[in-house]
């Protein structure tokens, strides 16, 4: 089954304790991206990657890191989490072949709800 898998789905942590949210896709997609969703603000892009070893900042990258060492994986790293990073996080992937928007579809994971105390 084609899917984007995120782990953990739920996490409560404390300020300053490093954590990683993993994202894996089995569709051989070039493009992967992380979003955070907060009430009234919709989905905001944190980082994206167009292929292995190619990453770039989205609209809200502060406090986050990413890596893309393999095509299927795109982990989101919070080196020193703070309460303002409490949010619902989504990973997404998309094929790039043929022009990005022509593919029409971002595939999303089920989300990871993070609470930083």
State the minimum distance, in angstroms, from the CB of residue 72 to another protein.
17
Backbone φ and ψ for 60, nearest 5 degrees, come out as: -135, 65
Closer residue to another protein, CB minimum distance, 69 or 104: 104
Cβ 101 to another protein shortest distance, Å = 4
Q: Which is nearer to another protein, 73 or 107 (CB)?
A: 107
Question: Closer CB to another protein, residue 16 or residue 94?
Answer: 94
The least CB distance from residue 78 to another protein, in Å, is: 20
Q: What is the DSSP letter of 30?
A: S
Q: Which is nearer to another protein, 77 or 108 (CB)?
A: 108
Tokens 């409490």 — which residue?
86
- From the CB of 16, what's the least distance to another protein, in Å? 28
- Where do contacts with another protein occur on this chain (CB under 8 A)? 4, 31, 33, 35, 40-45, 48, 50, 56, 58-59, 88, 90, 92, 96, 99-102, 104-106, 108-111
One-character DSSP codes across 47-109: EEEEETTEEEE-S--TT-EE--SSSSB--EEESS--GGG-EEEEEEEE--TT-HHHH---EE-
The angle subtended at Cα 65 by Cα 59 and Cα 68, nearest 5°, is 100
């Amino acid at each position: 089954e084609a899917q984007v898998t995120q782990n953990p789905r739920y996490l409560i942590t404390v300020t300053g304790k490093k954590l990683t949210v993993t994202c894996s896709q089995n569709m051989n997609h070039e493009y992967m991206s992380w979003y955070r969703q907060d009430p009234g603000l919709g989905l905001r892009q944190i980082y994206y990657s167009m292929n292995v070893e190619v990453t770039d900042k989205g609209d809200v990258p502060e406090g986050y890191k990413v890596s893309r060492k393999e095509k299927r994986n795109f982990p989101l790293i919070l080196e020193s989490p703070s309460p303002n990073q409490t949010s619902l996080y989504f990973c997404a992937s998309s094929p790039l072949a043929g022009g990005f928007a022509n593919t029409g579809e971002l595939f999303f994971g089920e989300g990871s709800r993070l609470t930083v105390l």
